[in-house]
């Protein structure tokens, strides 16, 4: 009985943390802005926006969707090893592979993400979802959730995730 209670409390705490990260100030539901415009307006996704443009993916993420984007912040890109970002920007095929690894088809809200163990990306590989210590996608912490756009949703991550 005690174990079940602890599991319920832990699940509720993770779920509450996950949902609570999406503050009303950052949620843009009904704004009519697409994923790219929403990210650009936030001001902390300049590197992601540049990378999407370089890869020719900005137009896709401005399309009808819906998409779910696990969006790395500028600080996440800054954590890459020296020279890695420049190398990525110079290699359109690899850049496209990395960026599409951050995108899932469909609108997957935080309440649904926490129920998943893995989710298939547009790139073709799956990412692992874990709720042990906060909510993670592979090795990236999800730091904000459910930032809605007209064509999907953004979940903010603190690390760039890389496909095999």
Which CATH number characterizes residue 91's domain?
2.30.180.10
Residue 163 covered by a domain: no
Residues with pLDDT less than 70, the chain: 1-31
Per-residue pLDDT, 31:
61
* Residues spanned by the domain of 89: 2-157
How many structural domains compose the chain? 1
SS3 of 12-30: the string is: HHHHHHHHHCCCCCCCCCC
Question: Is 17 inside a domain boundary?
Answer: yes
What is the per-residue pLDDT across 56-86, written as a single tens digit (0 to 9) for each?
999 999 999 999 999 999 999 999 999 999 9
Residue 69's nearest CA partner among 5, 146, 163, 159 is: 146
């Amino acid at each position: 009985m005690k174990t079940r209670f602890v599991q319920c409390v832990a699940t509720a705490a993770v779920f509450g943390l996950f949902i609570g990260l999406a503050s009303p100030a950052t949620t843009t539901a009904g704004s009519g802005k697409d994923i790219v415009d929403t990210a650009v307006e936030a001001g902390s996704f300049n590197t992601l926006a540049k990378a999407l443009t370089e890869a020719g993916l900005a137009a896709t993420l401005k399309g009808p969707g819906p998409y779910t984007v696990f969006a790395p912040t500028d600080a996440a890109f800054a954590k890459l090893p020296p020279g890695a970002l420049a190398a990525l920007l110079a290699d359109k095929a690899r850049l496209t592979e990395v960026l599409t690894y951050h995108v899932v088809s469909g609108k997957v809200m935080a309440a649904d993400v926490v129920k998943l163990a893995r989710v298939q990306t547009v790139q073709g590989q799956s990412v692992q979802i874990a709720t042990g210590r906060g909510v993670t996608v592979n090795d990236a912490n999800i730091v904000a959730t459910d930032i809605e756009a007209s064509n999907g949703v953004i979940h903010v991550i603190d690390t760039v995730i890389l496909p095999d």
